[in-house]
Chain A
Amino acid sequence: MSQFAINLIFVGASFALYIGIAIWARAGSTKEFYVAGGGVNPITNGMATAADWMSAASFISMAGLIAAGGYANSTFLMGWTGGYVLLAMLLAPYLRKFGKFTVPDFIGDRFYSRGARLTAVVCLIIMSVTYVIGQMTGAGVAFSRFLEVSSAAGIWIAAAIVFLYAVFGGMKGITYTQVAQYVVLIIAYTIPAVFISLQLTGNPIPMFGMFGTHVESGQPLLATLDEVVRDLGFRDYTADVENKLNMVLFTLSLMIGTAGLPHVIIRFFTVPKVADARWSAGWTLVFIALLYLTAPAVASMARLNLITTIFPDGPSAPALAYEDRPDWVKTWEQTGLIRWEDKNNDGRIQMYNDANAAFAPTAEARGWAGNELTVNNDILVLANPEIANLPGWVIGLIAAGGIAAALSTAAGLLLAISSAISHDLIKKIINPGISEKGEMLAARISMAGAILLATYLGLNPPGFAAQVVALAFGIAAASLFPALMMGIFSKRVNDKGAIAGMLAGLITTLLYIFTYLGWFFIPGTNMLANTADNWLFGISPLSFGAVGAMINFAVAYAVSLSTEEPPQEIQDLVESVRTPKGAGAALDH
């Protein structure tokens, strides 16, 4: 059977499963549509939240980033998991107790203000739309590579599938589909990693293999990797970083950004009790950790495998001849994600760090005239089974896994967008008299509209796909997270303070990002070059969300303290959110 047929069977079977689940779990009421009826078991919810959270970026890109950056990019691992500690302790149970459907709902009611609700809706829509574009393009890449259709056709197929189960099933359909998607993606991620760990270290568990002994050299795997990359002019894989301030702020931005993402928070409204919301955050992290503990192992092993493929006899011996390149290099060359240019005309592939001046004499002595191989970080996970010569069904599985990761996140984001429009904008601001049926119809129409918009933007990406993550996390960290925290933990912060704080955090963060990356990411419109010398105190635009959050807190408190106290009933509400009793009643609002 051809590889194409195997891929088709795996992807087709996973789609049939998702649609079957969607038909079984149709939503009948707004409560089922928005929060799955509030009756999801915490372990099931944890698994669905993990799939919701782990996007194409976690599945496809993260290991590649760590492989390229080594220790310095551990920030992604800590940032994207540490946020759950904040979510579990400071947000999830309290928001669950409050018993509303959406994040703007909480902000609007707690700060008794339409302006605050509207600000939250705007923040939510900007970040969710930018985030969903990345998912659609990610699904498009996976489709075009594995199903041999054009990327545009791939995006249309992905949109049709999401439309089917998200529009009809709502949160209920999405939750149960995400459980299936989690199972598909975790199996797809783990199996190749286990094989590779066995090949390199003899240990079947990648997270232990990574710190184990490299069978071939007889010394620890990481020590071997450090030696090999040093011999090619790269920084040591485990080398420390100089700018710790930026590393700390970047990690903090990712952490509080994670805790402020509305499509993740919304998941904790779906469990029956406050106690379950606490357990559910723990289970979510367990299911995320299964992938996140394997990712650094995949990263280090794939980097070593790639280098030993190109330099089979070590960096000082002649490199691999282009004619002898393995099949996976040939297939990925067709996508343009691997490129080779024979700069010294010796017909061999040299890959090294030609930006390192101290290494230049060594390179010259070896007869090298510049780095000849460009490998896109994103192919690392997808090509992993091929690099390790694994059977065809593993490759089919990876295809289904990558698509599952992209679709599950896209569905969660689309639900967050549609509930913000139909519930917060239409029902709470424009037309409060709307019937439940009317509200559900509005939710479905706005979701269909959001899918069309995302598909259009996926087909015509505005050229800032790579910066989208910075924008989405920056906004979540600087605007929503502080507003939620102050809403729960302060009785003194009032409507004016919250709005001023959110706007101050949002605007300073956007200004800082646009200063270095261009106004609305239009290339060439940046006012300063995006280099470490120009950054304020060495803080990169990616790390600024944490500073924006501090500005938000400071402004909100200053404005609140100089204006009147919130009304007594709001202060009582804040008090009541702190004890679990009575959460069941609050749900039926």
Chain B
Amino acid sequence: MIKQMLLRTGRRRRLITWSLVVWALVSYGFAMLLRPMLAGISIGGTDLGFWFAQQGSILVFMAIIFHYAWRLNKLDKEFGVEE
């Protein structure tokens, strides 16, 4: 039982960590700090960093939240701790 709980905690932590890595990468990374590195990739009259700043990051944020909800609700079912 305790082993089960630790396994669930570990998988939940990994899921949250990776979600936050992607969250930071698209906003603070691609849209801001790494923008000069992406300047070569053009999209609609400007560069990829500008697209991430004004649209891309919002789209990725949505994907992260739905992916997280889907995976964690599945995890809860697997370990029988859902409501």
Contacts and interface: CB of A to CB of B under 8 A. Distances in A.
B72 A251 contact: no
A202 interface: no
Given A211-B43, A247-B32, A274-B83, A74 B53 contact: yes
Contacts of B36: 240
B62 A286 contact: yes
B82 A275 contact: yes
Contacts of A85: 19-20, 23, 61, 64-65
B34 to A, nearest CB: 10
Interface in B16-49: 16, 19-20, 23, 27-28, 31-33, 35-36, 43-47, 49
A77 B58 contact: yes
A580 B53 contact: no
A584 B58 CA distance: 32
A296 B54 contact: yes
Given A219-B45, A289-B62, A578 B19 contact: no
B1 interface: no
Contact of B35 (A207, A220, A240, A252): A240
A162 interface: no
Interface in A540-589: 578-584
A285 B61 contact: yes
Nearest to A299: B54
A221 interface: yes
Interface residue tally on A, bucketed by range = 35 or more
Interface string B48-77: 011101110111011011101100110010
Contact of A279 (B32, B69, B76): B69
By size class, the interface of chain B is 35 or more
B53 to A, nearest CB: 4
Given A88-B68, A247-B32, A211 B44 contact: yes
Interface in A234-264: 238, 240, 244, 247-248, 251-252
Contacts of A582: 83
Residue of B28, B31, B61 ringed by the most chain A CB atoms within 10 A: B61
A252 B32 CA distance: 12
A471 interface: no
A512 to B, nearest CB: 22
Contact of A584 (B20, B27, B65, B83): B83
A275 B31 contact: no
B20 to A, nearest CB: 7
A581 B80 CA distance: 9
Nearest to A296: B54
A78 B55 CA distance: 9
Nearest to B5: A579
A178 B5 CA distance: 39
B55 A251 contact: no
A45 interface: no
Contacts of B9: 578
A84 B65 contact: yes
Interface of A: 66, 71, 74, 77-78, 81-82, 84-85, 88-90, 207, 210-212, 219-224, 226, 238, 240, 244, 247-248, 251-252, 273-275, 278-279, 281-282, 285-286, 289, 292-293, 296, 578-584
Interface of B: 5, 8-9, 12, 16, 19-20, 23, 27-28, 31-33, 35-36, 43-47, 49-51, 53-55, 57-59, 61-62, 64-66, 68-69, 72-73, 76, 81-83
The 6 closest A-B pairs by CB, nearest first: A220-B45, A211-B44, A74-B53, A223-B45, A278-B69, A222-B45
Given A238-B47, A247-B32, 18 more contacts: A77-B54, A78-B58, A84-B65, A85-B19, A85-B23, A207-B55, A211-B51, A222-B50, A275-B73, A278-B72, A281-B69, A285-B61, A289-B58, A293-B58, A578-B12, A580-B82, A581-B83, A582-B83
24 contacts: A71-B54, A78-B58, A82-B23, A82-B57, A85-B23, A89-B20, A89-B68, A211-B43, A220-B45, A221-B45, A222-B44, A223-B45, A240-B35, A240-B36, A247-B32, A252-B28, A273-B83, A282-B66, A286-B62, A293-B55, A293-B59, A578-B12, A580-B83, A581-B81
